[in-house]
Amino acid sequence: MNTQNKLSILEKISYGVGDMGCNFIRFLVAISSVMFGFGAIITIVATIICKFIVMKYGKKKTWMGCFILSSVVSAMFLLVSKESLAAVIALQILFTLFIGPSAYIMWSMYADIADNTEVETGRRATGMIFSSATMAQKLGNTIAAIIPGAFLSWVGFKANDINMSDDVRNMILIVFALFPIISAVFALVCLYCYNITEEKVSEN
């Protein structure tokens, strides 16, 4: 799990803590490594399960399902009370369960694109396709870090400041509940235009 995902979880937990106190926040930080490790286990289990779903419904439909379900979970953060820490953690687990397998599907589809390109053009462009995908991921990660940071700075967010204002709390909720939904909608539009079917993959 990368640093950005860890920050996401910690901010959600901080929002869920509300006014329960500084000592409890320190306790959460102390067990954060255990939680992150548990998240990695969930991702592995979800990826194993996802393999069988892909075999039945195909990569495109499964990945679109992952985005839709994770968006529903993100929207549910808007309905959770600030004091409902257990609900926040439960929703984060569900979010990881649904979005975790997407990396496995994504890299597999990159390989399908490389195979399809070779069939259509007669030239193998695996290196170009995977390097372009890696560059796009790095660019996406950069944007994903800059935009939330800019919005949080706009409302006066200060790192390690326990006494957050209501504006900061609300912006944290917006960043980690609504922003993933917006990204998922964009991803769904892109996937809708993806035209390499499972039949074509088998032919290639």
CB-CB contact of 145 with 4 (8 Å): yes
- Taking only the tens place, the pLDDT of each residue in 48-66 is 888 899 888 889 999 999 9
Q: Which range among 86-95, 116-125, 152-161 shows the weakest confidence by mean pLDDT?
A: 152-161
* 107's tokens: 């890299």
Residue type, 101: P
Q: What is the pLDDT of residue 153?
A: 85
Alpha-carbon separation of residue 173 from 14, 81, 166, 169 (angstroms):
10, 11, 11, 6
pLDDT band at 149 (very low <50, low <70, confident <90, very high): confident
Question: 3-203, what's its fold?
Answer: Growth Hormone; Chain: A; (1.20.1250)
CA distance 12 to 14: 5
- pTM of the model as a whole: 0.74
Average the pLDDT over 25-46 and give the result: 69
